[in-house]
Amino acid sequence: MAQPSPPASPTPPPPSRLASRYRAYRLPAFVLAAALLAAVGVATVAGLRSFANSAEWVEHSYQVIAEIESTLAATRTVESSARGYRLTDRPALHAEYLASIPAALNHSSELIALTRDNPRQHRLARDVERRVRMRLAEIDRLLEMHMRDPQQARLSSQTSHGAEQMRALTAVADAMREYERALLSARDARTERNATLLTALVIGGLLLALGLLALLMLNLWQENKRSRALERESRQALAELEASAAERQRLTERHRSLSHYAGLLQSCQTLQEAMDMTAHVIADLIPEFGGRCYILRASQNLAETAARFGREAIASADLLHPDDCWALRRGRTHRSQAHDGGVRCAHLARAEAGADSGGDPRWSLCVPLMAQNTSLGLLCLSGERPPREADLALIQSIAEQLSLAVVNLQLRETLRVQSLRDPLTGLFNRRYLEENLQRELLRCQRRKLPLSVLMLDVDHFKRFNDTHGHAAGDALLARVGQLMQELVRNEDIACRYGGEEFTIVLPEADAAAAMQRAEQIRAAIAATTIVHLRQTFGPATCSIGLATSVGDRDTPQQLLQAADAALYRAKAEGRDRVVDGNKPAAADA
C-alpha cells in the first residue's frame, strides 16, 4: 500500500504581495505621524508662548522693583538737596532741590501705572505716592521756614516727623518689593514645571512619530522598483511644476524686495539717497533693463539725472526739458518701440538710419513721478526685449513709492529750512545760533583758537519804522540781512537775533580781524539805500558790539552778554560805530 505523501509546506508570498498587504496602513500611519508632529509643534509653540509670557511678567516685576528703588532714591535726593541747602544756603543746591522734585513725583506716578494689573500692589503704589507727597510737602515746609527764619527752621527740623515719614515710606516700598519677589519665585517654579512637561511631551511625540516614519520609509523602499517607471512618466510634469514654482518664487521675492524698498524709503534722509536706493532696487530686480532717475528742479523747467542703473539700450540726455518727454507732458506712463511706430521722446537717442525698418526690438518706458497732481521727476528705462506685464507693474509700483518718498523728503527739507532760517532776512534764526555757538566755541577752545561775536543793531529803527511803515522797515531789515550774507565767510554764522538786532559768530577770528570785519559791515550798511514802493530810503546806520573769547572759561551766554554790552556802549557813544567789548571804556581807562 502506497504511503501518503507529506503535506507541502506553504510558499511565502512574493514581496509585491507583502508590500500591497501593508499599503492600507500607510495613510493611517502617515496621518498619525503628522498628527504627532503637529501636536509636538503646537505644544512647542504653546510652551514658547507661555515662556514668553512668563518672561514678560518677570520683566514687569523687575520694572516694578526698579521703580520702587528709583522712587526711594529720588525722594532721598530731594531730601539731601534740601538739607544741604538749609545747611549751606548755596543756590546750586536749591536749584538741585527744585530739579529733583519732578523726578520723585514721576517715578511714583510710573509705579502706579506699572501696578494697575495688581490691585494689591496698585493700592500700595498709591500709598507710596501719597507718602512721597507728604514727605515732599514736609521738606518744602521746612525750606520755606528756613528762608524766613533759619533759627526757627532748625528748631522745627528737630521736631519734624521727616524720619518717621521716610521710615513709613520705606516700609511700604519694602512690602511692595517683597511681594514682587514672591511673585517672581512663583513664576520661576511654574516655568520650571511647564518646561519639564513640555520636554517630556516633545521627546515622546518625536520618538513615536520618527518610529512611524521609519516604518513608512521601509515600506516605501520595498516598492521603489515598481515606482521607477512612474517616476519617468512624472519627470516632465515635475519640470513644469518646478518652473511654475520658480516663477512664483521670483514674484514672491520681488514683492518682498518691493516691501523692503518701501520701508527703506521712509528712512531716507535726502533725495539723492532715495534715488540711489531706487536705482539699486531696479538693477537688482530687473537687471536686463537700464535707465536713470530724474528729479525736476523747483522751477519745474529742467529735470536732471539723479541716479543711473544698468546699461541703457537707448541713451537718454543728462538734462531734459519737461516738454521733451511725453510722460511729463501727459502725466502718464509713455512706452515706445521702434518697430511698432511708437512716438519716442525727444530726450532719447535716435535710432540709426534703417534700424526702424529692420524691426528694431529696443523699447523705452518713461514713468512720471507724480504726487498731488505735481510732477516731481521721471523714471526712464530701456531694454533689448519687450517687458512683461509683471515688470511693468513692478516699475509702476516703484514709481508710486518713490513719488511719495520724494514729496515727503521735499516737505521735510522745507520744514527743516523754515525751522532754522528767518523768513524775512534769510539768515539763521536765534535757535540755530544757540545750538551752534556752543559747538563752535568748544571747538575753538579745544584748539586754543579765538572766537569773536558781533552784536549788530540798526540805529533808530523804531523811528524809521514809525515814519515809513512796517513794510519799509521789513525791506530795510531784508537788505541788511543780504549785506551780511555777502560779507561773511562760509564758516561764519550770521543770525537774526531778534527785531532789528543781528548776531555774527566768527570762528577762529581774533579781536583785530573781527574789528576789521565789523567795520566793513558797518560801512556797507551806512552806504546802502533801499527802494520801496518807488521811494528811496536811507542810508541807515548801525551800531556794533564785539566780544572775543581767547580762553577756555567763556560760555556762549558770557560772550553774547559782552557783545551786547559793547553794543550798548556804541549806542551811548553816538551810534554808527564799532565798540570792542574786550577793551575797557574810555572813562575806565
Which residues are identified as catalytic? Answer: 500
The Cα 381–Cα 335 span in angstroms is 10
The crossing angle, in degrees rounded to 10, of helices 271-285 and 389-420 is 170
Radius of gyration in angstroms for the set of CA atoms belonging to the chain, rounded to a whole number: 41
Residue 29 in 3-state DSSP? helix
The backbone torsions φ and ψ at residue 232, rounded to the nearest 5 degrees and listed phi first, read: -65, -35
What is residue 307's DSSP assignment?
E
Burial class (CB in 10 A: 0-12, 13-18, 19+), 407: middle
Assess contact for 378 and 332: CB atoms under 8 A: no
Element (H, E) at 138: helix 119-148
Burial class (CB in 10 A: 0-12, 13-18, 19+), 82: buried
The crossing angle, in degrees rounded to 10, of helices 556-572 and 430-446 is 110
The Cα 88–Cα 246 span in angstroms is 80
Assess contact for 122 and 116: CB atoms under 8 A: yes
* Cα distances (Å, whole numbers) of residue 54 to 46, 66, 280: 12, 18, 44
Bridging pattern class, strands 290-296 and 303-309: antiparallel
